[in-house]
Copies of this chain bind each other. A is one copy, B any other.
Amino acid sequence: MNVQIFSALAEPNRLNIVELLLEGPLQVGDIAKKLEMNQPQTSKHLRVLCDAGLVEVQPVANRRIYRIKPEPLQELDKWLNSYRRLWEARMDRLDDYLDVLQGKKTLN
């Protein structure tokens, strides 16, 4: 699992941008307006999201339209799924572990 997506989403403004773009593509100015950020910071955050592959640009005339790239979200989903049975059940392996501590079992 690539850590970059977590890093990109760890910033509140960027998470807001992603949630906004999930509803549809937008140009920079409108993102800034809707989220009440100023333009330079918006561009900077979009750059980070771009680098993380969460977003892509489509230049149209004067504007730059940003939209979500689903791949990283799919990857995150796959990661969660691969561990789902572990964190869903979580059948207290704690008891087993206590046995290990008491020498009844061995640790790998």
**Residues of A in contact with B (beta carbons under 8 Å apart):** 1, 3, 6-7, 9-12, 15, 19, 22-27, 30, 58, 60-61, 63, 65, 67-68, 70, 73-74, 76-77, 80, 83-84, 86-88, 90, 93-94, 96-98, 101, 107
Contact = CB atoms under 8 A, between A and B. Distances in A.
19 contacts: A1-B15, A3-B9, A6-B6, A6-B7, A7-B10, A22-B86, A24-B97, A25-B94, A25-B97, A30-B107, A61-B101, A65-B94, A67-B93, A67-B94, A68-B86, A68-B90, A73-B83, A74-B87, A77-B80
A9 B6 contact: yes
A68 B87 contact: yes
A10 B15 contact: no
A97 B65 contact: yes
B93 A25 contact: yes
Contacts of A84: 77
A101 B60 contact: yes
